[in-house]
Structure 1
Amino acid sequence: MSANDFSLQSLIRPEGADPAFVFDGTPVSRAEFSARAEQAAAWLAAQGIGKGDVVAVWLVNRVEWIALLFAAARLGAIVAAVNTRYRSAEVAHLLKVSGAKLMVVEAAFRSIDFAAILADVDKAEVPALEKLAVVGADAIPAQWASVRFDAFDKPYPPAPSPQGNVDLPVLLYTTSGTTKGPKLVAHSQRTLASHAVSVARALKLDPQRHSLLAMLPFCGTFGMTSLLGFVAAGAPIHVLDAFEAAPALEILSEHRITHAFGSDEMFRRILALTDAPRPFPQLEVCGFAAFQPGWRELAVAAEARGMPLFGLYGSSEVQALFSIGRTSDTFADRIEGGGWPMSPDAKVRVRDTETGELAAHGISGEIEISAPSRFLGYFNNPQATRDAITADGFFRTGDIGRLRGDGAFVYETRAGDAMRLGGFLVAPGEIEDELKACDGVADAQVVAVDLNGQARCVAFVIPDKEPPQQEALTARLRERLAGYKVPARIYLVAAFPVTDSANGVKIQRARLRAMALERIAAE
């Protein structure tokens, strides 16, 4: 393959099935999409965006999102993907770390008031941001200058000849470990395009026979990777602007969708809306991430109704759909997280967390991965990048699993303190720092618990001289953080349970989780 074969533009196959996309019932052919990407590139260039500049994209799933990514690739610019569930503190952090020069934002979407969120972002925190570009309106009330995103409505001078280097950053995902604020995971056109091709080949996608229901947000690797895999295959993609079970059910039924990817809760909600014994006879693969208790029972029930669930594995650093179960696996193996790597060049190994040695098959340890889909590094954070990569180039995932011995592996759990909330990996430090910034809070700790079948976080707060009002704390967090990060309970305590060790005093997070469950049960 030549270098150009790893560009994003190379994924748009002229021989694929039309349409390439269907957005809210409106088809967009491959030729039309290519034209829109060119229009978006011309528009970005007219806004002063060039090689190395960062554009933050804060949009729901719409054609503008994908067109901007392909346009940035042409110009050598970089897209920073902003989660539409983010609130002011998270948006400010991403803009600051990325150094975004321009942000393309929704005017409004359902209950999300983008203008109100932006009004709570201190302009001094994000000095690089010059202006906002609004999709769907002429302007948005904010302290920044704003223009309308009108790339598809009026002609702009053609963009310069392609400037993109396929090995430089083109897309930044957000991810959280155990530190304050999300890190930005940088991917190049090569890592994105080569993995998309691997996905299309591993799933044996046929553009004339297969189609995708894209119900995951493009701002995350799960939604973007599945989308690009089907783009690479030339297969049609039916897009939901944001997930809702009823329209997902309608598209699955009316358009005879063969593939869908999502969380266990998404598939649970879709099944709950129909009484038909086997409502989706055409479905071949439903790749799912298990975030909620009872996912094995869901897989059994879904299988009986013709919705075949396949366990998978991925992360922002190695991309989603890194691996997936196979139809040749036993049902029990097929639904487990992990599976078989999509790329034949990917390598998975497990390291014993106690001895530091590589673990034998069947022995649990930290999963390490080397693959063409691996990220370039954490954007503007070389130390975090060095910490995450071994001397021989494997990514330390921070996940615990084991090798099966047949070429597949099993994901078991997340190591460390990171929490899985609302389908997203969240660092406790993010929420704790917001609590500590509130009046009346001297210190705070946050843990995740199972609350009525859902993973929720619970906060423990050591009050300052004047104890805070818990309702006021919750209201403040709702203004600053995505809803899934807001604690379900906030408990005031005099001190945290701790353990003295050679390395200092450590907070007993396991004891905090137990305390949270005890208090909830007592209620």
Structure 2
Amino acid sequence: MADLPEPRFLDERVAHWAATQPDAEAMDYLDRNWTWAQWDDRIRRLAGALAERGVARGDVVAFLDKNHPACIELTIAAASQGAATAIINFRLAADELDYVLNDSDAKVLIAGKEFMESIDKIRDKLTHVEHVIAVTPEGDDEYEKVLEASTPVQRSDDVEPDDVAIIMYSSGTTGRPKGVELTQANIIAHTVNAHEGFEFDEGDKNMVSMPLFHVGGSSYAQFAIHDGFPSVMTRDVDGAALAGAIFKGANRTFLVPAVLAKVLDSGEDAVKLFASLKTYGYGASPMPLPLLRRALEAWPETDFIQAYGLTELCGVISHLLPEAHRDPGKEERLSSAGTLVPNAEVRVVDPDTLDEVPAGEQGELWFRSPQLMKGYHNKPEATAEAITEDGWFRTGDIGRVDDGGFIFVEDRLKDMIISGGENIYSIEVERVLAEHEAVIEVAVIGVPDEKWGEVVKAVVVVEQEVSEKDLIAFARERLAAYKCPKTIDITDELPRNPTGKVLKKELRKPHWDGRDRATV
């Protein structure tokens, strides 16, 4: 690895391994697997199929399905033509799919057959989509026929590392998702910078189970590709799928803490099986300290790595490495987000004055890194608000940095709720509930939950009789299930400050008193 130059394009490493170890295993998925030579051929054929359908530099294609190698194939193939892949959350409701697909400007959509019914319902609203290609887990599908019929093509001469390669949609403070544009250079920088702790040894296999629409899925998948090691991809993140991957030899993975909790609660056999994991990376939501301590005791030989990051930074910007997890003299750092990855900078800034605060004090966390997104798709104003003129990204997270460089994330300026690794903006849920005829006012907050870290709760003022059950059902018809309130309180009025702003802090207080929100 040391003699390999750092790649400039996403397709370089697949091509390299296809040339140097063509018959070695690259990807395993359900009952199928591919060597590096086969996988490279599939990617080149898909690039040819996209070119035949008019996809060129600056265009966008989209992928909608559960985890499937075709998503990574599309990402790399499209990038080789200078096009971006919008990876769509398959859990979105029809109204959300309509918005995201149109906002992305996608010309080609590859979609799982089980989601075609949802696409058919909105097909006449998809003004940019010219081609829809169906894909199935088994491979007896239109996608495979397209690959077979196409002519392989190499990377286009006009492609640049700064071309957008992935667009990931995260809920936005305007109530609509924003497309985060990640370039080839961004993704490669993340792969190189966040690699520590995820090094592979001979015989290792990578388990790719985090949803690929999540940056923790797509960015993490790049590690094994970069190093030339095989991956075992699961379609779902359930116990049977994860166990199946481990039986196939997968021994390094990245998952959300909620999965770890489920394993620990599943009995001795499950705990013993997961003991074969060399590395367990976790992130996307806080790990409750009692859960983390249970895990460290249950798996004394496993290296645990916590990742803190944001989609806008391609994923990991700081990490708590294995040795810090088992440092008896610094146990307080278990509640930290670790230290910066290489080639990254952090500032802690007073969000009102924008002045840097003294060391150790709280402020808004700002980061600067080559991993930082190009911007929000079609939203230059939102981009300007998030990125300063000198390249600092304003996270909206409140935290501090201790004298050892450990970052503590302690609250959030943004009204974002992180439930089981999914980012949920309260304003998006509020927008939907406000559409109910009985609702006059609504405020949405996150409340602690032992399994998911936190879950969505709404507090509403109504003008006519309506039940909590009816309001939750109303939300479920219009939002992905994980965004819907688990509970709703009906009240006479919402607490406000003298200027009329709703005091969400007061609504949260009875639920969070006595708890550290970052480590619940």
Counterpart of 1:240 (choices 230, 234, 237) is 234
1:89 is the counterpart of 2:88: no
Q: Extract unaligned runs of 5+ from structure 2.
A: 514-520
1:297 corresponding residue in structure 2: 290
Q: C-alpha displacement at 1:172, in angstroms?
A: 0.5
Distance in 2, matches of 1:219 and 1:105, equals 13
Distance in 2, matches of 1:117 and 1:491, equals 32
2:44 corresponding residue in structure 1: 38
**8 Å Cα contact 2:182/2:314 also seen in 1:** no
Distance in 1, matches of 2:171 and 2:110, equals 23
Pair 1:154–1:235, CA change in 2 (3 A): closer
**8 Å Cα contact 2:41/2:152 also seen in 1:** no
Q: How is 1:315-334 mapped onto 2 (pairs within 5 angstroms)?
A: 315-329=310-324, 330=327, 332=331
1:269 corresponding residue in structure 2: 262
Which SS does the other structure have where 1:184 is aligned?
strand
Sequence identity percentage:
24
Distance in 2, matches of 1:41 and 1:463, equals 54
The total of aligned residue pairs comes to 496
**8 Å Cα contact 1:175/1:183 also seen in 2:** yes
Counterpart of 1:349 (choices 341, 347, 350) is 347
1:195 corresponding residue in structure 2: 190
Q: What is the TM-score normalised by the length of structure 2? A: 0.86
Deviation track 1:258-305 (CA, whole Å, cap 9, x = no partner) reads: 32111111112123334157544543321212736x721111111112
Distance in 2, matches of 1:289 and 1:5, equals 26
1:228 corresponding residue in structure 2: 222
Pair 1:168–1:4, CA change in 2 (3 A): farther
Q: C-alpha displacement at 1:120, in angstroms?
A: 5.1
Pair 1:281–1:430, CA change in 2 (3 A): closer
Pair 1:266–1:186, CA change in 2 (3 A): same
For 1:221, the aligned partner's letter is: V
1:336 corresponding residue in structure 2: 335
Pair 1:333–1:226, CA change in 2 (3 A): farther
Deviation track 1:333-368 (CA, whole Å, cap 9, x = no partner) reads: 66434223332x211221234653223332222111
Deviation track 1:33-92 (CA, whole Å, cap 9, x = no partner) reads: 111111111222233322222112112111111111111011111111101111112212
Counterpart of 1:23 (choices 22, 29, 34) is 29
Distance in 1, matches of 2:284 and 2:64, equals 26
**8 Å Cα contact 1:21/1:238 also seen in 2:** yes
Deviates more, 1:182-191 or 1:89-98: 89-98
Which SS does the other structure have where 1:103 is aligned?
strand
For 1:129, the aligned partner's letter is: V
Q: C-alpha displacement at 1:490, in angstroms?
A: 3.1
1:168 is the counterpart of 2:163: yes
2:507 corresponding residue in structure 1: 512
1:427 is the counterpart of 2:433: no
Q: C-alpha displacement at 1:400, in angstroms?
A: 1.9
Distance in 2, matches of 1:270 and 1:226, equals 21
For 2:58, the aligned partner's letter is: G
Q: What is the TM-score normalised by the length of structure 1? A: 0.86
For 2:462, the aligned partner's letter is: P
2:518 corresponding residue in structure 1: none
1:456 corresponding residue in structure 2: 455
Which SS does the other structure have where 2:168 is aligned?
strand
Distance in 1, matches of 2:347 and 2:444, equals 32
**8 Å Cα contact 1:262/1:287 also seen in 2:** yes
**8 Å Cα contact 2:234/2:245 also seen in 1:** no
1:117 is the counterpart of 2:118: yes
1:8 corresponding residue in structure 2: 10
Distance in 2, matches of 1:473 and 1:232, equals 47
Q: C-alpha displacement at 1:134, in angstroms?
A: 1.5
Distance in 1, matches of 2:204 and 2:110, equals 32
Q: C-alpha displacement at 1:95, in angstroms?
A: 1.6
Distance in 2, matches of 1:516 and 1:282, equals 38
Distance in 2, matches of 1:89 and 1:422, equals 23
Distance in 2, matches of 1:475 and 1:489, equals 11
Which SS does the other structure have where 2:54 is aligned?
coil
1:373 is the counterpart of 2:337: no
Pair 1:232–1:451, CA change in 2 (3 A): closer
Deviation track 1:98-149 (CA, whole Å, cap 9, x = no partner) reads: 12222211111xxxxx24433554844x422334221139xxxxxxxxx933
**8 Å Cα contact 1:360/1:403 also seen in 2:** no
Distance in 1, matches of 2:145 and 2:201, equals 29
Q: C-alpha displacement at 1:224, in angstroms?
A: 1.1
**8 Å Cα contact 2:106/2:129 also seen in 1:** yes
**8 Å Cα contact 2:26/2:231 also seen in 1:** yes
For 1:507, the aligned partner's letter is: V
Q: Extract unaligned runs of 5+ from structure 1.
A: 109-113, 138-146, 519-523
1:186 is the counterpart of 2:181: yes
For 2:178, the aligned partner's letter is: K
1:144 corresponding residue in structure 2: none
Which SS does the other structure have where 2:370 is aligned?
coil
1:67 corresponding residue in structure 2: 73
**8 Å Cα contact 1:213/1:257 also seen in 2:** yes
Distance in 2, matches of 1:24 and 1:116, equals 24
Q: How is 1:273-284 mapped onto 2 (pairs within 5 angstroms)?
A: 273-275=266-268, 279-284=273-278
Distance in 2, matches of 1:467 and 1:2, equals 67
Distance in 1, matches of 2:384 and 2:371, equals 18
**8 Å Cα contact 1:46/1:157 also seen in 2:** no
Distance in 1, matches of 2:132 and 2:165, equals 20
Cα RMSD, aligned residues only: 3.0
